[in-house]
Amino acid sequence: MKTKILALFLITAFLVLPGCDNNPPQEAQLQKVTVLLDWFPNTNHTGLYVAREQGFYQAEGLDVEIIQPPEGGQVQLVAAGQGDFAVSSQEEMTTARSQGIPVVAIAAIIQHNTSGFAAPVDRNINTPADFEGSTYGGWGSPAEEAVLKSLMTKYQADFSKLKILNIGSADFFTSIQKDIDFSWIFWGWTGIEAELKNIPLSFISLREVDSRLDYYTPVLVSNENLLKSNPELVKRFMQATTRGYQFAMQNPDQAAEILLGAVPELDRELVIKSQHYLALQYQGDAPRWGEMKVEVWQDYADFMFENGLLTEQVDTSRAFSNEFLPAVQ
């Protein structure tokens, strides 16, 4: 009897010794995943931060790190396997596919293009015809020139009479005070900021002046190898990310607080107001958050090809996929 008691004691002691737990904490079992941002953290990215802070990723067995690359190039990094997922745009993705870069869009973060050309109202720029004789401030992308030229031609304006300055990442509000008349902005951030600063802007929405410019921006992307080799990982990531954006749609104030908690240097009032705006834009009129249409991809690819941004047509059916999104509830 004493021998049996001693044996039971030793077995029990062994099981409770540190490092001898047969069921280690869940955190030790989480799979590390990286997401590369396209810009500084903002309300486009809120769903990612919500999914992380609310434990949605952890519930799917994932430990997600959100990274802002110092010099961009996030799509190339993901293609090279130096990141699992990234935030990009349909424009960037289409160009990448035309260059043979093996990346695929797996969700539209915002359902419709909320960007456009903005100018202080006193510049009297209300249609693309008014671009004549003015100065545009951009970031030096060939796509900018193609869009400007296409819209000016459509509105019978002379593109040669538009002055273009490369202002890079210079502040929009500083630039319009001294260097430029108008620029390309996203209303959900810079437009909201203008409202808070009481700076009236005229705004030419791209999707309203040419339906082909209603493309997906931003989008979530991954590389073909990961999609093929570990589709279950991708589905778990998208399950949690979808929950994050659904939460942001339903609880914009709380979602804004989560983003501010993760990135406290952001302007509080701007984040809250932007979050309310995007709560209505993330899913828009789609049957579920993230879903993309082949015609949207094809229309913009046609636009790019017609305007010399592509040397040959791209197989848009391979540029995106809805298969990793959760089913419609």
If DSSP codes are grouped into helix, strand and coil, which group holds residue 125? coil
Residues 98-110: what's their mean pLDDT?
Answer: 97
Residues 47-67: what's their mean pLDDT?
Answer: 98
Does 13 or 165 have the greater pLDDT score?
A: 165
For residue 76, name the pLDDT band (cuts at 50, 70, 90). very high
Quote the domain boundaries for residue 204: 115-213
- Written as one letter, the residue type at 78 is V
Following CA atoms 256, 258, 263, 266 in sequence, which dihedral angle do they give, to the nearest 10 degrees? 20
Chain segment 223-242, per-residue pLDDT in tens? 999 999 999 999 999 999 99
Within-domain flag for 1: no
> Among 3-7, 121-125, 308-312, where is mean pLDDT lowest?
3-7
Q: What percentage of the chain exceeds 90 in pLDDT?
A: 86
Residues 190-207: what's their mean pLDDT?
Answer: 98
Within-domain flag for 13: no
Torsional class of 218: left (φ above 0), alpha (ψ -120 to 50), beta (otherwise)? beta
CATH number at residue 142: 3.40.190.10
Q: Are residues 201 and 222 in the same domain?
A: no
**Residue 141: how many CB atoms within 10 A of its CB?**
15
Residue 36: per-residue pLDDT: 98
For residue 16, name the pLDDT band (cuts at 50, 70, 90). very low
- Whether 7 shows a pLDDT value over 90: the answer reads no
**At a CB cut-off of 8 Å and minimum separation 6, what does 87 contact?**
35, 36, 37, 38, 39, 44, 45, 74, 109, 218, 219, 220, 221
Q: Are residues 284 and 237 in the same domain?
A: yes
Q: Are residues 100 and 244 in the same domain?
A: yes
Q: Are residues 42 and 89 in the same domain?
A: yes
Within-domain flag for 67: yes
Chain segment 123-177, per-residue pLDDT in tens? 999 999 999 999 999 998 899 999 999 999 999 999 999 999 999 888 999 999 9
Residue 216: per-residue pLDDT: 98
Q: 94 with 316: CB under 8 angstroms?
A: yes
Within-domain flag for 326: no
Q: 326 with 239: CB under 8 angstroms?
A: yes
Q: Are residues 230 and 312 in the same domain?
A: yes
Instruction: Count how many domains the chain has.
Output: 2
Q: Are residues 232 and 107 in the same domain?
A: yes
d(CA 275, CA 296): 25
Within-domain flag for 281: yes
Buried b or exposed e, range 64-85, using 16+ CB within 10 angstroms: bebeebeeeebbbbbbeeebbb
- Whether 270 shows a pLDDT value over 50: the answer reads yes
Q: Are residues 314 and 225 in the same domain?
A: yes
Within-domain flag for 17: no
Residue 196: per-residue pLDDT: 98
Within-domain flag for 2: no
Q: Are residues 310 and 237 in the same domain?
A: yes
Residue 232: per-residue pLDDT: 98
d(CA 188, CA 46): 13
**Domain endpoint, select from 195, 213, 231:** 213
Q: What percentage of the chain exceeds 70 in pLDDT?
A: 91
Global pTM reads: 0.90
**Domain endpoint, select from 177, 196, 213:** 213
d(CA 6, CA 81): 54
Within-domain flag for 329: no
d(CA 117, CA 128): 9
Chain segment 18-49, per-residue pLDDT in tens? 433 434 344 569 999 999 999 999 999 999 99
- Average pLDDT across the chain, whole number: 91
- Whether 5 shows a pLDDT value over 70: the answer reads no
Q: Are residues 301 and 228 in the same domain?
A: yes
Q: Are residues 207 and 120 in the same domain?
A: yes
Q: Are residues 220 and 313 in the same domain?
A: yes
Residue 28: per-residue pLDDT: 60
Length of the chain, please? 329
Residue 329: per-residue pLDDT: 66
Q: Are residues 236 and 293 in the same domain?
A: yes
**Domain endpoint, select from 165, 181, 213:** 213
Q: 97 with 311: CB under 8 angstroms?
A: no
